[in-house]
Amino acid sequence: MKINTKCVQSGYEPQNGEPRVVPVSMSTTFKYDSTQTVGDLFDLKADGFFYTRLANPTMAAVEKKIADLEGGTAAMLTSSGQAATTLSVLNLASSGDKIVSSSEIYGGTYNLFNVTLKRMGIDCIFVDPDDTDGLEKAVKTKGVRAVFGETLANPALKVLDIEKWAKTAHGANVPLIVDNTFATPVLCRPFEFGADIVIHSTSKYMDGHAVSLGGVIVDGGRFDYKKGGFKQFTEPDESYHGVVYTESFKDAPFVTKARVQLMRDLGSMISPMNAFLLNLGLETLHLRMPRHSENALEVAEFLKKDKRILSVSYPGLQTDGQHAKCKKYMNGSGSGVISFDVGDKEKAARLMDSLQLAKIVVHVADARTGVLHPASSTHRQLSDRELAEAGIKPGMIRLSCGIEDKADIIADLKQALDNM
């Protein structure tokens, strides 16, 4: 099936007389007739549900759909994007190990890698995504267990050269984790370019309506854990009566281990209700992503022509430095987020306060157009020097184009620019 059909249909096949729509199984537990059946479930010999921390029918249907959309072998939903990032790294690295990450990543992920994981004994080497030599050198550092990057970086709007990153990671027998939140599988499927694990904050375009937080980890099913010396996958897990993930779960050792070991112990599952809401979002993802991209391109072209605006970043623009990679990895569609610079904080505030249709929100990537001023909100704690290092200019505005009529979005920006 084509991706448009998968968005609508994948993951749930009702049997005779069952609900047409995947039901919300709002139940923590499941009833069985015999102790033997429950034993088999615990031994992972039978498929089924026993406790919603580990698996639940609503969550399972949505996991199956997302695995299908990405072209992976299995998926596991989490309570948020942050939980997905955390579990994907902890599945590979332990105290004393290292990871390598692109320096152009989501601020929350940067803090997780730079502060919290560091406190847990996992060091992160950050590299400029375009610094090939730096990347080569970093992945060869002793103890590196994972390489991490974002398809379309939030907020830098840089496109990751996934093929190059995958090749370099594999040269050192280390898997590549790609955060595909901003592109979504409709615009880019990182497994097709060599990624090994894909994660998302489903709170953004996948949910699409700004109603439910969530995250997901998808297993590409191809990485050779034996070659990389990842004993936690290839030798018996004593905490799960000796299961060897690469033997018993050849197709999806990564997600199986993340579920039965890390989700079991850390418990950061999504709620069945949020999984249900996420599924409603996924049903229209294939319609929304082209519309977000089309609107954002027209808005970026409008902003680019206005002399009051110093610069516009949008990978969908032919003149943008990221456009060649955007064509290769995202079919030329730039997704919905634009950043532009009006010169200083005061002007940015005047422009944003004058907007009517576009609302000030600390969120991006939903159906409604929203604006955010990084220097006074998400990056408020940074000094001017740190802001400059993070590539955040004081007059920079991040605009998340919704799926309204683009003429209305542009008219709103036009009147606000006149009030700036």
Ligand X SMILES: *Cc1c(COP(=O)(O)O)cnc(C)c1O
Q: List residues binding ligand X (CB under 6 A).
A: 80-82, 106, 108-109, 150, 154, 179, 181-182, 201, 203-204, 213, 215
Residue nearer to ligand X on the CB measure, 206 or 342: 206
Residue with smaller CB distance to ligand X, 82 or 295: 82
Q: How far is the CB of 343 from ligand X (least distance, A)?
A: 26
Spatial distance between the Cα atoms of 110 and 103, rounded to a whole number of angstroms = 8
Nearer to ligand X, 124 or 342 (CB): 124
Residue 110 to residues 116, 241, 341, 377: CA-CA distances in angstroms?
10, 35, 23, 16
CA distances to 175, 224, 315, 330, 408 from 302, rounded to whole Å, are 41, 48, 15, 22, 12
As measured in angstroms, the least distance from the Cβ of 377 to ligand X is: 14
Nearer to ligand X, 52 or 85 (CB): 85
Output 256 or 274, the one with its CB closest to ligand X.
Answer: 274
| Nearest distance from C-beta of residue 368 to ligand X, angstroms | 16
DSSP-assigned letters across all residues of 146-195: EEEEESB-TTT-PBP-HHHHHHHHHHTT-PEEEE-TTTHHHH--GGGGT-
Q: How far is the CB of 419 from ligand X (least distance, A)?
A: 30
The answer to whether the CB of 285 falls within 8 A of the CB of 184 is yes
Q: How far is the CB of 199 from ligand X (least distance, A)?
A: 8
CB burial of 180-216 (b: ≥16 within 10 Å; e: otherwise) equals bbbbbbbbbbbbebbbbbbbbbbbbbbbbebebbbbb
Residue 180: which residues within 8 A CB-CB, separation 6 or more? 70, 150, 151, 188, 190, 198, 199, 200
What one-letter code names the amino acid at 312? V
Measured from the CB atom, the residue of 68 and 207 that comes closer to ligand X is: 207
CA–CA dist 317, 301 (Å, integer): 7
Nearer to ligand X, 184 or 246 (CB): 184
Minimum gap (Å) between residue 267 Cβ and ligand X? 16
Q: How far is the CB of 215 from ligand X (least distance, A)?
A: 5
Closest-CA residue to 390 (of 10, 79, 106): 106
Considering the complex, what minimum distance in angstroms separates the CB of residue 171 from ligand X?
26
Separation between Cα atoms, residue 9 and residue 4, nearest integer Å: 9
- Residue at 172: amino acid letter: A
Residue position matching structure tokens 């306060």: 353
Is the Cβ of residue 193 or residue 240 nearer to ligand X in the bound state? 193
Residue nearest to ligand X (CB): 81
